[in-house]
Chain A
């Protein structure tokens, strides 16, 4: 039987050779095999990063899209339950995450990883105290100092503290205990950060030049955590910090004196029918050039609805205290607006599993219109836009 099969195969080969198109053989001399390579760098241009957080023990990924048309350009990946941030120039990415060799049991490691964005290459790893906050990703959980020489990383065991990493030496400088406080909001005028505390005050931690010691100062009460709780999400507006509450009250705070002080509170949904409240995770994004705040909102908000997806994104002029426009952008849980005169808005929908880009028209009261979208697999609550 084996001989019969071999004979048949030989006959087929002979026939194939006899009847093959002459052109095939004519081109044989010109054939050049393809070469396997790895693309050295992403295509240039501004980027959007969607931080996809893995809660199953496997790798988290920051997926990188073109900010122009949202085509996928690359990614960087780390461990489980990641937190992510970028340098101001968008050239360096940072991810703090957990590596668990057995995924769901046994010991693990918490690591800060540094990536070169252009090449997507891992350039540095720094072992952290095994205390990284295993918490739904928020931009306030991994931040850089104003001079970008230090990284601040939120811990929770559930006792809270902040790991300070010296990025020059690649070593942990110290662990700052921050009991009852959470979130990291770096100071711009000094080395240090503020954190939100359980009584509605903030504590500001000012570090020594080498990052190895600190002094702290607590503010007066800023908000009522029972009646008007604020999100972790924040942005800067003309140097001040902006926060927003579940009930859509915008808290404008200053940290310039080494302690948080309240500048103003603006209820952006006051007088609007429908019992509107803030919705999502990354919910505060401010366009510097025009002084306009963008917030995802949903109607008939109630206790427990604060992380629901949006029904609309509101554009609110914080200089004139005026609601400019309510764009009907559904199911967004994270938004980012660029800072230029003609802003672009980006949003992520958990429900759709998509990142969206919207053109914002300053001549039409900052109405937003969808111009691009791309699918994103996984769970994400933050996104960042780089130059």
Chain B
């Protein structure tokens, strides 16, 4: 299973994270997204005419939408990540998978504007980003009242992985995460998962491991 990947892309990270959590080995093919714009070159446009990454290739299956990749990995290796299958939970998973696109077009676009000078109305992108974060926060508060810690269920699902990276990297686009206590606890719960992996800007929880001990004079 080959992933056309860029280390700084939150959408690519979704797939790497899902694969790590479900113990699937990916064949990583790095793409020179910036500054080379390799994803717009002829070879990758043949795979994905939309000119976006990630691209996941497995035999003759070519996926170009990250949410579909998360579902594919989960269905193949760990179906519990698709949710329990109850009517409401199935709908909630789909709701957040679709919603995750709004995070990409708001917080993700603000991040590209701030980090790679991508053109755009930064004030408006940030405003849409805040509106999206408030929806995630409200959704998590309501789930908490229902006794559930994650977006669609009491266990993490593909919905959480679809939403987590762009939420966690909101500060890269100049949008603060300080006012969202439910998002903070949700982010901790996801980063506490066994086999969680990092990307630049999203770090593991240091306190989960004992403090490294250095002998005096040994450093």
Is chain B found bound to chain A in the same assembly?
Answer: no
Chain B residues at the A interface, C-beta cutoff of 8 Å = none
